[in-house]
């Protein structure tokens, strides 16, 4: 990490107002077929849940994590050869193109090609291979969850959501975030990654055993998510909120920096093909129910997302104004 400039640290605003959450984070056992109703409820209530018995091999997770730790321990000048995030590559503190910053460094990759620069030599081959294997495994899990959700919602066909991730043209992203210990924390909660919702359909997150992730409840309170390196955490994204006509909630979340320990997280963002029209699924609409959103393609949504700031309500632009 390079030393931060003053304006940058000023933007790492304080994250206050974090409450205890008595309900707890919904925990779903994917090996139990009767979890469909629980999955639907979790997507409706919070847009966030934790899964166990996920089928992603523990060895694969461990190996990828140790390659990622090795990558982030390289000198900055070497990491920067993975290219500026435009939008893919290595990034340090700057998030997205519109001035957002956080106490984080990261690798952002498209899931279609992983261009690790040749400077990493053979290590790059191993890293690339592990990333590919990991993405296949978490994508499989994401598709299983989306199919269980479709069944839970009684949507036909059951691959109505998952086919978008399975499509060869699926515009999905993989991100590895490293949150180094932040010396400025000193009892305050400084922002590692600012609050936002994910634009895609579904996000699959795992981290080492260092906490920092917080999610926002409907009433605006923030709650800390206890870390669990053996489980995965799933977020509903904006596109799934639209496809369910607002029934599922795209959860606002953020990461606060830690004063003494490094947090490492890896997130797969499952997105549709660029040309896909995002609109409420006809089979989900009841009676005369109107769509809450104007129709858009994923390309249009992404284009407007990249003009926004992290914390913006990106779906606002596409909401229909209710007739009075
Ligand atoms: C948030 C979710 C994913 O991390 C991401 C982010 C993307 C980026 O870092 O380039 C964005 C952000 C995310 C939404 C608004 C825009 C784009 C930064 C930003 C300010 C990779 C994504 O798809 O959208």
Q: What is the pTM of this model?
A: 0.93
Q: Residue 164: how many CB atoms within 10 A of its CB?
A: 27
Residue 175 in domain: yes
- Ligand 1 pocket check: which of 97, 266, 310 to mutate, most ligand atoms within 8 Å of Cβ? 310
Residue 61 in domain: yes
Is there an atom of ligand 1 within 6 Å of 205 CB? no
Residue 95 in domain: yes
Output the furthest CA–CA distance in the chain (Å, rounded).
Answer: 63
Question: Bridge-partner residues for 234, per DSSP?
Answer: 49, 204
Is there an atom of ligand 1 within 6 Å of 268 CB? no
Catalytic annotation, residues: 263
* Average of per-residue pLDDT across 174-192: 84
pLDDT reported for residue 11: 56
Tally of structural domains, the chain: 1
Q: Whole domain around residue 156: which residue ranges?
A: 14-318
Residue 28 in domain: yes
Q: From the alpha carbon of 173, which atom of ligand 1 is closest?
A: 21
List Cα–Cα distances, 303 to 19, 91, 274, in angstroms. Answer: 35, 20, 10
Residue having the nearest C-alpha atom to atom 18 of ligand 1: 96
pLDDT reported for residue 8: 45
Contact between 236 and 249 (Cβ < 8 Å): yes
pLDDT band of residue 17 (cuts 50, 70, 90) is low
Task: Give the Å distance between the CA of 186 and the centre of ligand 1.
Answer: 28
Is there an atom of ligand 1 within 6 Å of 272 CB? no
Residue 278 in tokens:
């995002």
Please tell me the least confidently modeled range out of 22-26, 62-66, 212-216.
Answer: 22-26
pLDDT band of residue 29 (cuts 50, 70, 90) is very high
List Cα–Cα distances, 152 to 145, 146, 158, 222, 224, in angstroms. Answer: 10, 10, 10, 28, 28
pLDDT reported for residue 323: 56
Q: Indicate which CATH number applies to the domain containing 245.
A: 2.60.120.330
Residue 3 in domain: no
- Listed residue (275, 292, 273) closest to 284, CA to CA: 292
pLDDT tens, residue by residue, 213-265: 999 998 889 999 999 999 999 999 999 999 999 999 999 999 999 888 999 99
Name residue, tokens 């080492």.
Answer: 208
> Measured between alpha carbons, how far is 62 from 251 in angstroms, rounded to an integer?
28
Is there an atom of ligand 1 within 6 Å of 51 CB? no
pLDDT reported for residue 7: 44
Residue 8 in domain: no
Can you list the alpha helix ranges (DSSP code H) found in the chain?
6-11, 36-45, 58-72, 76-79, 121-152, 162-166, 238-243, 298-305
């Amino acid at each position: 990490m390079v030393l931060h400039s003053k304006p940058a640290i000023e933007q790492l605003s304080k994250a206050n107002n974090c409450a205890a959450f008595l309900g707890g984070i919904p925990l779903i056992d994917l090996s139990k077929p009767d979890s469909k109703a629980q999955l639907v409820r979790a997507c409706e209530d919070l847009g966030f849940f934790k899964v166990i018995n996920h089928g992603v091999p523990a060895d694969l997770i461990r190996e990828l994590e140790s390659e990622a730790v090795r990558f982030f321990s390289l000198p900055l000048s070497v990491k920067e050869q993975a290219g500026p995030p435009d939008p893919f590559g290595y990034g340090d503190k700057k998030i997205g193109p519109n001035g957002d910053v956080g106490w984080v460094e990261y690798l952002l990759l498209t899931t279609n090609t992983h261009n690790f620069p040749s400077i990493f030599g053979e290590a790059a081959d191993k890293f690339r291979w592990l990333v590919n294997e990991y993405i296949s495994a978490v994508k499989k899990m994401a598709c299983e969850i989306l199919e269980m959700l479709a069944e839970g919602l009684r949507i036909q066909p059951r691959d109505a959501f998952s086919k978008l991730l399975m499509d060869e043209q699926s515009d999905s992203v993989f991100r590895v975030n490293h949150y180094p210990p932040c010396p400025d924390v000193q009892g305050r909660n400084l922002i590692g990654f600012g609050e936002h919702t994910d634009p895609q359909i579904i996000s699959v997150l795992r981290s080492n055993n260092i906490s920092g992730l917080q999610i926002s409840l409907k009433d605006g309170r923030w709650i800390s998510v206890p870390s669990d390196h053996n489980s995965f955490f799933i977020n509903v994204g904006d596109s799934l909120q639209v496809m369910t006509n607002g029934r599922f909630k795209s959860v606002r979340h953020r990461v606060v920096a830690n004063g003494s320990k490094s947090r490492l997280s890896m997130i797969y963002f499952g997105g549709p093909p660029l040309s896909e029209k995002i609109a409420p699924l006809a089979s989900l609409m009841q009676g005369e129910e109107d769509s809450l959103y104007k129709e858009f393609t994923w390309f249009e949504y992404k284009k407007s997302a990249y003009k926004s700031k992290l914390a913006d309500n990106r779906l606002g632009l596409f909401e229909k104004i209710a007739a009075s």
